[in-house]
């Protein structure tokens, strides 16, 4: 039975209020008892001996029995205290970000707002952080990959914590060198495998953002095969190709710490350039197969535009249905009610218990 509407203060209600009509029997008994003639023994000046009690001891059994009966009636009416959670309808997605941390992400072919050269990770990272913080109703997770793929964070609503983890990202966090695009995408897809959000084998309300600046040259899973898995699961993959210069210079870094190596004047040193290898066609194919979209992030402005376009994607609705929790108070009234009622009966007829003559 659904809880009755609340009609008492503090969220209280009675699930079976019809039982309150039984209180009329109590009123009838009180009226009938008041009309019965009772013998009275008058003792002159008895008030000089002791003060009259507020309630005659002879009436105590009746009062206890009546109170017990009333409590039992209230218990049968099933008093409940309701705690209602209002219905909330929100729109959101489950999103996995797959971020390339290979050495080529150190290539300095971006510029900040002051015109200073910055590398690809430095350019993309604040854009990703902003994207995360702008989607408070989404669960977001992050996969990082280079020669291997690792989960930085599973799906979470704690976007502030996730943004702090993004600030700690550095090239070299994944020791195995290379660019395992397929493994990164495959791991991101596995993090979106949740049975409760599957309908006829299709994952609802999820997509992947795959960001890289190179071509797949490591790992075990082919990127196109991973895109096929995304297609079968109904998960769109948005691919972002970072970088503008395929032969951009790469600063030297300490492979253990990821910090730049500096010369005697405190300046970064450069001893290599990108080899020009870039597989834009594969990224386009991944997006096309999975019903996603490909973006080319040539500079900071186009990178921001890519994430802004993804942010505008139509979101599905998640309904959190209203729930009413009803705490039953039957026992709290029934137990003392029974005790009072039977104590009153016992005191009213002491002869049944071997009372004094």
SS3 sequence of the chain: CCCCCCCCHHHEEECCHHHHHHHHHHHHHHHHHHHCCCCCCCCCCHHHCCCCCCCCHHHHHHHHHHHHHHHHHHHHCCEEEEEEECCEEEECCEEEEEEECCHHHHCCCEECCCCCEECHHHHHHHHHHHHHHCCCCCEEEEEEECCCEEEEEEEECCHHHHHHHHHCCCCCCCCCCCCCHHHHHHHHHHCCCCHHHEECCEECCEEEEEEECCCCCCCCCCHHHHHHHHHHHCCCEEEEEECCCCCCEEECECCCCCCECECCCCCECEEEECCCCCCHHHHHHHHHHCCCEEEEECCHHHHHHHHHHHHCCCCCEEEECCEEEEEECHHHHHHHHHHHHHHHHHHHCHHHHCCCC
Q: pLDDT at position 319, please?
A: 53
Among 32-36, 56-60, 171-175, the range with the most confident prediction by mean pLDDT is: 171-175
Whether pLDDT at 185 is above 80: yes
pLDDT in tens, 189-211: 999 886 456 665 567 788 999 99
Architecture of domain 89-319: 3-Layer(aba) Sandwich (3.40)
> Could you tell me which residue, 32 or 230, shows the higher pLDDT?
230
- In tens, the pLDDT along 281-295 reads 999 999 999 988 898
- Is pLDDT larger for residue 49 or for residue 187? 187
Average pLDDT over residues 303-332: 70
160 vs 15, residue with greater confidence: 160
pTM above 0.75, yes or no: no
pLDDT digits (tens, 9 = 90+) for 74-93: 888 888 777 665 555 566 78
Does residue 355 have a pLDDT over 50? Answer: no
Bigger pLDDT: 223 or 342? 223
Mean pLDDT of 135-153: 89
Give the residue-averaged pLDDT of 113-135.
Answer: 85
Using pLDDT thresholds of 50, 70 and 90, give the confidence band for residue 344: confident
pLDDT band at 188 (very low <50, low <70, confident <90, very high): very high
353 pLDDT band, cuts 50/70/90, is very low
pLDDT at 47 over 70: no
pLDDT at 190: 92
The answer, yes or no, to whether residue 114 has pLDDT greater than 80, is yes
Task: Judge whether residue 225 has pLDDT over 50.
Answer: yes
Q: Which of 210-214, 293-297, 348-352 has the lowest mean pLDDT?
A: 348-352
Domain range annotation of the chain: 9-34+58-86+323-353, 89-319
Percent of the chain with pLDDT over 90: 15
Residue 314 has pLDDT above 90, yes or no: no
pLDDT exceeds 90 at position 223: yes
Which range in 36-40, 55-59, 139-143 is most confidently predicted, on average pLDDT? 139-143
Residue 4: predicted pLDDT: 47
Average pLDDT in the chain: 77
């Amino acid at each position: 039975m659904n809880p009755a509407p609340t009609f008492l203060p503090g969220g209280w209600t009675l699930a079976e209020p019809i039982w309150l009509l039984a209180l009329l029997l109590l009123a009838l008994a009180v009226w009938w008892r008041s009309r019965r003639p009772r013998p009275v023994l008058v003792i002159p000046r008895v008030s000089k001996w002791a003060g009259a009690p507020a309630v005659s001891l002879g009436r105590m059994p009746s009062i206890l029995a009546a109170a017990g009966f009333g409590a039992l009636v209230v218990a049968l009416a099933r008093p409940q205290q309701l705690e209602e959670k209002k219905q909330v309808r929100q729109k959101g997605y489950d999103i996995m970000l797959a971020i390339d941390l290979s050495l080529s992400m150190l290539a300095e072919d971006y510029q900040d707002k002051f015109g200073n050269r910055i590398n690809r990770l430095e350019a993309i990272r604040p854009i990703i952080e902003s994207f995360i913080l702008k989607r408070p109703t989404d669960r977001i997770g992050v996969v990082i990959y280079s020669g291997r793929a690792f989960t930085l964070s599973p799906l979470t609503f704690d976007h502030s914590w996730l943004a702090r983890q993004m600030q700690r990202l550095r090239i070299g966090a994944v020791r195995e060198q290379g660019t395992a695009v397929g493994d990164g995408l495959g791991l991101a897809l596995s993090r979106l495998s949740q049975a409760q959000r599957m309908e006829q084998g299709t994952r609802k309300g999820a997509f992947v953002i795959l960001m890289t600046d190179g071509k797949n040259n490591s790992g075990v899973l082919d990127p196109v095969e991973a895109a096929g898995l995304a297609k079968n699961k109904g998960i769109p993959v948005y691919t972002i190709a970072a970088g503008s210069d395929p032969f951009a210079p790469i600063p030297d870094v300490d492979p253990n710490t990821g910090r730049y190596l500096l010369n005697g004047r405190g300046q970064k040193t450069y001893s290599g350039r990108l080899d020009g290898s870039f597989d834009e066609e594969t990224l386009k194919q991944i997006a096309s197969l999975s019903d996603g979209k490909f973006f080319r992030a040539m500079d900071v402005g186009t990178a921001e535009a890519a994430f802004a376009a993804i942010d505008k994607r139509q979101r599905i609705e998640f309904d959190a249905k209203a729930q009413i929790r009803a705490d039953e108070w039957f026992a709290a009234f029934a137990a003392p009610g029974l005790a009072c009622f039977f104590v009153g009966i016992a005191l009213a007829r002491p002869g049944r218990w071997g009372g004094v003559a």
